[in-house]
Amino acid sequence: MKRKLIRRVVTVAACLLFCTTATAQVEFLAVTVGKGDALLLRVGEYVCLIDTGKAEAEEQLRAVLERCGVKALDAVFLTHTDKDHAGGMKWLRKSEIEIRAIYASKYHPEVKDKKHQASKAAKKLGLEVNWLGAGDEVPLGGTGAVFRVLAPIQEFEGNDDDNSLVMMLDSPDGRILFTGDMEYNEEMTLLASGADLKCDVLKVPNHGDSDACGAQLIAACSPKVAVISTDSEEKPDTPDKNVLRNLDRAGCVTYSTESCTFGVRVLLEEGRVSTEYVSW
């Protein structure tokens, strides 16, 4: 049986998504795509997708993008090469949705550059891949918001999760930490770097598995809200009970995409955070 992480569940009509017009307002939707990541972000008029879910989630993600009125993406970011994060890139680049830029982690030891889904898509679309590493920044149009790339800091062989693209969205309305599937090796390196990890919202790494999101990371982030993208039937024991316990002890309210059929919607506005489950 799927677990609901909190009882305070708000279900709203999907048509309410992406209808606001405030220039700096931040809207983040973790789409329900099973055990995978497909994270839709809007800041003002800038719209991007962080990861594309697995290929098998095409129907769900396509329907959500259509319902949200997304006809163009200013950027697609692929945090790493796992199929449940990058598998949807093939159908997406063939779709009618315009893709204006493609970004990916600079380290991906398990996949050669030309075989990377980002490279394949860029070649077909006449674009260049922007390979990102710690210290890079990506401005989000003229919104005043920016992605500050915190990792990868170094390359880890044999586990692409630990080469995940980790980005802090820094905006006038608040901060969100996007973590891909970062596991403990990358997590410890990130903590040792001294980077400012404090955020309003934490996208919990690696689907809330036991090999990520330790108490030190949670303390450094001190998030108000945590979002987990998973399905405990596809990946048993996620979210891990110790991860949930540590988030709860830190005073963080946790939401999981498996508790709704459309996605988890987070809105940041002038430092305030509101979160709700969205179902069809």
Nearest to 214 by CA among 161, 134, 34, 206: 206
Q: How far apart are CA 221 and CA 250, in angstroms?
A: 10
**163-181 pLDDT per residue, tens:** 999 999 999 999 999 999 9
Grade residue 140 by pLDDT with cuts at 50, 70 and 90: very high
pLDDT at 18 (0 to 100): 52
Grade residue 12 by pLDDT with cuts at 50, 70 and 90: very low
Give me 9's structure tokens: 């569940």
SS (H, E, C) 238-252: CCCHHHHHHHHHCCC
Grade residue 255 by pLDDT with cuts at 50, 70 and 90: very high
Q: Set out the domains of the chain in order of their start, with CATH numbers.
A: 11-18+25-278 (3.60.15.10)
**212-222 pLDDT per residue, tens:** 999 999 999 99
Q: Which amino acid is at 81?
A: T
**17-52 pLDDT per residue, tens:** 554 444 448 999 999 999 999 999 999 999 999 999
Percent of the chain residues topping a pLDDT of 70: 91
Alpha helix segments (H runs only) across the chain: 58-67, 83-86, 89-94, 117-125, 184-192, 215-221, 241-249
**94-126 pLDDT per residue, tens:** 999 999 999 999 999 999 999 999 999 999 999
Contact 165, 81 (CB under 8 A): no
CA distances from 172 to 17, 24, 42, 269, 272 (A): 21, 7, 13, 8, 11
CA distances from 243 to 5, 79, 108, 240 (A): 12, 21, 27, 5
Assessment of whether the complete model's pTM goes beyond 0.85 = yes
Between 17 and 261, the more confident residue is 261
User: Got the DSSP string for 139-164?
Assistant: E-TTSS-EEEEEE--S--TT-GGGG-
Contact 198, 168 (CB under 8 A): no
pLDDT at 15 (0 to 100): 41
pLDDT at 25 (0 to 100): 86
The average pLDDT across 123-135 equals: 98
